[in-house]
Amino acid sequence: MRTTAVLRNAARTPLIKFLGKRTVPESVDHTPRVHPASPSPTLPETFAAYRSKAQQHGPLNSPGRLSSLSYGAIGASSGASLGPVEPKPGEYFDRDELPARFHRLPWTEAEIEAIETGGASLFN
C-alpha cells in the first residue's frame, strides 16, 4: 500500500482548537512608553539624541570611530603598541593556569574507544 500518497492527499486538520471568533481589539494604545527596566525614566526626544548617548561595544559617537568607508584604518597600529595584555588579579586566560583540581582530566582508553566507535564498543 502506498501510505505516503494517501497521507499527502489527506486534508490537514489543525491540532489546536480555538474557542470563539477571532476578534481584533478596537482600541490599542500604541503610544511609546519607557520600559520598566530602563535606566532612565524618560524617552529620548529624537533618534539623534538617543544615538549620541548609545553604546555598542563602546561609544557610537566617538571621533575615532571607523566609518563604513574607512576599512584601511583597521590594523593601522601594531598589537604591541596597544600595550601588554595581562589578566586582572583573580582572572585567568586558560584553564591550565588555575589550580590543579580545575585542570582537564586525561581521556581513558575506554572513553577514546567509545568515542571512536560511536558508543558501539560499550555494548560488546
Total structural domains within the chain: 1
Does residue 1 fall inside a structural domain? Answer: no
Does residue 106 fall inside a structural domain? Answer: yes
Judged on CB neighbours under 10 Å (0-12, 13-18, 19+), 114 is middle
Does residue 69 fall inside a structural domain? Answer: no
pTM of model > 0.75: no
Does residue 74 fall inside a structural domain? Answer: no
Does residue 43 fall inside a structural domain? Answer: no
Write the pLDDT tens digit of every residue in 95-115. Answer: 888 999 999 899 999 999 999
Does residue 14 fall inside a structural domain? Answer: no
Does residue 48 fall inside a structural domain? Answer: no
> Is the predicted pLDDT of residue 56 greater than 80, yes or no?
no
Parent domain of 109: 89-123
Does residue 81 fall inside a structural domain? Answer: no
